[in-house]
């Protein structure tokens, strides 16, 4: 009898203890739907079918995110989406691969503000319309779309700054890797890009690498060294300099952005211990 009373009290108190997300079955039917529509987005044979599935996927996810419990819920069983979380920020990010070899990216950002309320913001991919990518700050409605695979939060940069690493399938000839920054104020307002990347010749608001579709570029955060380490890209010959479909990594040559005060500062030809974590080959094409 006493055990039954304790169990009843625990069930009643769970929502107030902030652990509702641990209950089995939370969002389980929605996760099943997301997996169904996510598979259709990737595997359907026409753009019309992919777009229809994406519309359904987005609607289910958007409904889930209106529930504040989703911020702490586990979405690791959703197969066709990248879910990243750091501090007060959570990103839900996926891509629609078109039959012509191009991609459109989608994302929702959740931000938990001081009073425990969760603000949800959609990012709108406008990549094809944007210019001066490395020197401009963008808004959620003018996002340089990518599929993010790592989020870095360090108060040394600033309490409002979240550095992200991403992949862009770009076109039939090249891929891109991107280092961007999401800036969120205490009201949940979002900007994309900030002058925190101190490169060789100038300070940039984001860093973009473009390289051959046949190559694999590593772009990886090493927390112990507080460095974003990446392959040094070179053309296959001097005759194709500036034609990025012929660019690939130089053999065992790495550069880095090192956290220095409130900036990521460029360092050339860094020495690292080569191991499995140094190469993120799975992110050459995450759809595989």
Tell me if 41 sits within 8 A of 57, measured CB to CB: yes
For 4-43, write each residue's pLDDT tens digit: 333 332 333 333 333 334 444 689 999 999 999 999 999 9
Please provide the average confidence, as pLDDT, over all residues in the chain.
88
For 120-149, write each residue's pLDDT tens digit: 999 999 999 999 999 999 999 999 999 999
CB atoms within 10 A of CB 172: 10
Give strand pairing partners of 148: 166
Identify the band that residue 274 occupies on the pLDDT scale cut at 50, 70 and 90. Answer: low
Tell me if 229 sits within 8 A of 220, measured CB to CB: yes
The model's pTM is: 0.87
What CA–CA distance (Å, rounded) separates 23 from 174? Answer: 44
- Assess whether pLDDT exceeds 90 at residue 226: yes
Percent of the chain with pLDDT over 70: 85
Tell me if 247 sits within 8 A of 233, measured CB to CB: yes
Identify the band that residue 2 occupies on the pLDDT scale cut at 50, 70 and 90. Answer: very low
Give me the residue spans of the domains in the chain.
Answer: 126-283
- Assess whether pLDDT exceeds 70 at residue 281: no
């Amino acid at each position: 009898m006493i055990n039954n009373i304790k169990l009843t009290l625990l069930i009643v108190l769970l929502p107030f203890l902030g652990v509702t997300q641990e209950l089995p079955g939370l969002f389980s039917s929605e996760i099943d739907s997301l997996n169904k529509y996510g598979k259709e987005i990737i595997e359907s044979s026409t753009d019309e079918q992919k777009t229809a599935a994406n519309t359904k996927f987005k609607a289910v996810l958007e409904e889930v995110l209106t529930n504040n419990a989703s911020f702490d819920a586990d979405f690791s069983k959703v197969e066709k989406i990248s879910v990243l979380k750091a501090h007060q920020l959570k990103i839900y990010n996926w891509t629609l691969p078109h039959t012509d070899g191009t991609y459109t990216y989608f994302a929702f950002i959740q931000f938990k503000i001081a009073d425990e309320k969760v603000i949800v913001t959609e990012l709108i991919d406008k990549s094809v319309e944007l210019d001066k990518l490395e020197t401009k700050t963008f808004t959620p409605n003018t996002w340089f779309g990518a599929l993010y695979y790592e989020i870095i939060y360090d108060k040394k940069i600033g309490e409002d700054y979240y550095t992200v690493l991403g992949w862009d399938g770009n076109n039939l000839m090249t891929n891109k890797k991107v280092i961007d920054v999401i800036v969120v104020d205490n009201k949940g307002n979002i900007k994309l890009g900030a002058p925190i990347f101190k490169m060789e010749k100038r300070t940039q608001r984001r860093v973009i690498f473009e390289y051959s579709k046949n190559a694999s570029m590593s772009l990886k955060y090493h927390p112990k060294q507080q460095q974003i380490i990446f392959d040094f890209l070179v053309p296959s010959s001097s005759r194709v300099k500036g034609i990025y479909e012929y660019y690939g990594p130089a053999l065992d040559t790495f550069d880095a952005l090192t956290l220095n005060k409130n900036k990521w500062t460029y360092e050339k030809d860094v020495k690292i211990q080569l191991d499995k974590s140094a190469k993120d080959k799975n992110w050459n094409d995450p759809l595989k």
